[in-house]
Amino acid sequence: MVNSEATNGSDLTRLTAHEAQEFLTSGKVSSVELTEAVLARVDELEPQIHSYINVTREEALAAARTADEARSDGKDKGPLAGIPVMVKDNLSTEGVPTTAGSKILLGYTPPYDAHVVSQLRSGGAVIIGKGNLDEFAMGSSTEYSAFGATRNPWDTDRVPGGSSGGPAAGVAASECFISLGSDTGGSIRQPAALCGIVGMKPTYGLVSRYGLIAFGSSLDQIGPFSRDVRDTADTLSVISGHDRRDSTSINAPGQDFASVLTGDITGMRLGIPCEYLVDGMEPGVTAAFEKSLETLEAMGATVEEVSLPLTDQALAVYYIIAPSEASANLARFDGFKYGNAVNDVPTAWDVMDQTREKGFGSEVKRRILIGAYALSAGYYDAYYKKAQQVRTLIIREFAQTFEKFDALVTPTSPTVAFMAGERMDDPVAMYLSDVCTIPVNIAGLPAISVPGGMSEGLPVGLQFIGPQMGDGTVLKVAHAYEQATEWHRFKPTL
């Protein structure tokens, strides 16, 4: 149901994308008016939030005019036509600078679009700009960006989560309707939880990674943020599908994911992994999670505890595999091919050394060193090979669990949004922010975080995990839970 009172700019920006689409279809507003309202919101809030690295104002208005012309000509391009969206700044955008949050890519403008960006453009979406992130997507708070930290719209003294903090904060603050992020170990779901919105990591390979600046190639996946599950389903329908340019892309036909949102989960079997209720989980998060389980049971689902013993090994496995892949992927940034470079030095080796020294931030350097060590002679078998063997066991454990359950339910984050600066000097504490999300990436599974309660005035996330290619299942359960509760209606008062 569209809010009939949403006629001025500030109200327009608070609509969901599908509500805004109804306004566009009925002729109540144009895409240009919608885009202008969002840009005004960005101008108002960016000094507080800093969710964008780059706002592409003129390009957005041009795209909005094109969307309006297509609509007037009767050319229906789908659910995102004319809708303002943000994309994380590690997704290549033709003609628009792409930094991955790093000084080393200053001055780099891609000559091509990422596959998902092409899909958005083909669907008539209006790209407003590029979202802030932890440098090269390495972080859980968006404080490691070379271009300044993003703040949480619920409390600007707190972090929005990471690494996709800019896209998450942008949706929560109504600075866009939908955004795209990347998720290597929780970088969509954790900030979605901390910002009180919906964030989904699809099955590995369902969405092409072509044009994504790689962090951990066997773990990375692109997915949407939105203010409700319907918008996430619509966006996934637009960006998913086979792409021959990505060798890991699943060769399967596109799907209409919104068609599975029935609101009925009667008889579904939901597993509760006891290992995800970790030490250090805040009491408010635990209370909200337990209340959510009661709600799911009342909706007709069967809720049963299950054990996933290898969960305890997942964090260690991730922090060997991900840095190892990062150390290989980031070797391409040498000061010669593209981006920023230090040239006033005597030799080519000095150019490479100084470019990396001045271009990479501390967290990126830390992970490169960890990865290079794990891959080095004498340690490869002890660390990287062993981690891959345990990864296989984790995948097998999940597969066996899904023989009994349709989906798993866990907290998304063990805490609500923490204070800015609180964990900057403690990398291990920062890494523990993703303890509930990392196993999903290791196994390549789909998972979604939805608003699941409040604790001390801050949002709590609820995570649904599905089997391989069970994206429709997690969307169905998440949507039904969302419709049975009011948490997704809670908004920050900016």
| Whether pLDDT at 2 is above 80 | no
Q: Is residue 222 situated within a structural domain?
A: yes
Instruction: Tell me the three state secondary structure of residue 91.
Output: strand
In a domain, 359, yes or no: no
Q: Is residue 173 scored above 60 in pLDDT?
A: yes
- Which tokens sit at 162? 């990471």
Query: 106 lies in which domain range?
Result: 9-269
Distance CA 246, CA 157 (A): 40
Number of structural domains the chain divides into: 1
Secondary structure (3-state) at 17: helix
Evaluate whether residue 99 is within a structural domain: yes
**Per-residue pLDDT for 3 more than 80?**
no
Biggest CA–CA distance in the chain, Å, is 71
Residue 159 lies in a domain: yes
Distances (CA, A) of 383 to 32, 138, 321, 380, 460: 54, 20, 9, 5, 35
**Which of 70-74, 109-113, 334-338, 390-394 is least confident?**
334-338
Q: pLDDT band for position 5 (50/70/90)?
A: very low
Answer yes or no: is 118 within a domain: yes
Q: Is residue 317 part of a domain?
A: no
pLDDT at residue 4 above 70?
A: no
Q: Which residue has the tokens 């890494």?
A: 431
Pairing of strands 198-201, 126-131: unpaired
Predicted pLDDT of residue 306 = 97
Residue 168 lies in a domain: yes
- Average of pLDDT values for 108-113? 97
- pLDDT-based confidence at residue 408 (cuts at 50, 70, 90): very high
pLDDT band (50, 70, 90) for residue 10: low
Cα(356)–Cα(437) distance, integer angstroms: 30
CA-to-CA separations, 366 to 319, 341, 363, 427, in angstroms, rounded? 11, 21, 5, 10
CB 88 within 8 A of CB 130: yes
Domain containing 104 — which CATH number? 3.90.1300.10
Instruction: Report pLDDT digits (tens) over 27-81.
Output: 999 999 999 999 999 999 999 999 999 999 999 999 999 999 999 999 877 999 9
Please enumerate in sequence order all residues whose Cβ is within 8 A of that of 315, keeping only pairs 6 or more positions apart, or say none.
Answer: 431, 432, 434, 435, 438
Are the C-beta atoms of 305 and 275 separated by less than 8 Å?
no
Poorest-confidence range of 145-159, 164-178, 347-361? 347-361
| Cα-Cα-Cα-Cα dihedral sign, residues 251, 256, 192, 22 | positive
pLDDT of residue 85: 98
| Cis peptide bond prior to 449, omega within 30° of 0 | no
Task: Indicate the Cα dihedral angle 394, 383, 436, 89, nearest 10°.
Answer: -110
Catalytic residues: 88, 163, 187
pLDDT value at position 208? 98
Report yes or no on 119 lying in a domain: yes
Give mean pLDDT, residues 16-28.
96
Predicted pLDDT of residue 8: 55
